[in-house]
Amino acid sequence: MDTPGEWLVNFKGRNASGAYALNFLWKYSNVYVMDNHRAAMWCWMQHVDARRPHSLFHIDRHYDALQSQLNEWLAHMPSAWDLSINDYLTLTYKVPDFGDVVPLFGWGNYLSICLALFGKKIASCYFATHGDGDKPNCKRANHVNMWEVPSNLDYWLNEGPSPWIMNIDLDYFFCEGESDRAQRMLADGYIDRCIDVVRQKMQDGTIAVTTIALTPTDNFTGGWEPSEALAVRVLSGLGIEFRLP
């Protein structure tokens, strides 16, 4: 790696990573790495004009498309998207009936917000998930089987119009284990084949931006250690050296 990555949110330590806590955001070119996907939408806006046709591929245990307060969230959207990451993260809204003021974007709702705002411009949309959470508010969403991904990812990305957003949560590669601690369920070969395709499509310009979340919680990835180890492997497959302090 000739150019070092950039800390957009400085590493705060291996703390709990919940709906709103963001312990770091690191960027290398058009690849963004974070402990949870709360910042993903902001990252996409740095590389894709969401008002024009584009495509989305979501690889994640969860749909990340919570819609319980969607109208309220949409009412608090910024007037323009040329805001800093700090401004994005500090946007808030008041929860109806409770009065609590909480962050506008969390790891569970950023995608439903994006789909509500720009879904008509998403020409091709794929979801590879475990089926957890609210189904996405996108009628054109293609839901693909886990075992189809390695052999078909290249084909799907070729069929859909560029630019593509590639959104990956490492909890997709884990399953429930003993004592509420998740364990890897997909082999290195599966992951490497997928990442090889992502790297090729980044190099030829098909993929405009890639966001990767570690989700370092015991129940989804087994905690920081296994999620970091997998992140190192995934980023290495993309030709990027990555290590947390």
Find the mean pLDDT for residues 37-60: 98
Q: Are strands 174-175 and 183-184 parallel, antiparallel or unpaired?
A: antiparallel
Find the mean pLDDT for residues 197-214: 98
Cβ-Cβ contacts under 8 Å for 206 (sequence gap 6 or more): 157, 158, 162, 163, 164
Say what percent of the chain tops pLDDT 70.
Answer: 99
Find the mean pLDDT for residues 113-129: 97
pLDDT of residue 180: 85
Long-range Cβ contact pairs of 116-119 (< 8 A, separation 24 or more): 116/70, 116/74, 117/50, 117/74, 117/77, 118/50, 118/51
Judged against a pLDDT cut of 60, whether residue 162 lies above it is answered with: yes
pLDDT of residue 1: 41
Of 98 and 161, which is predicted with more confidence? 161
Q: Chain-wide mean pLDDT for the chain?
A: 96
Does a cis peptide bond (omega within 30 degrees of 0) precede residue 96? no
pLDDT of residue 178: 80
Find the mean pLDDT for residues 156-176: 97
State the pLDDT confidence band at 3, using cuts at 50, 70 and 90: low
Find the mean pLDDT for residues 131-150: 96
State the pLDDT confidence band at 4, using cuts at 50, 70 and 90: confident
In this structure, whether the domain defined by 6-14+21-237 belongs to CATH 3.40.800 is answered with yes
- The interaxial angle of helices 188-203 and 149-159, nearest 10 deg, is 20
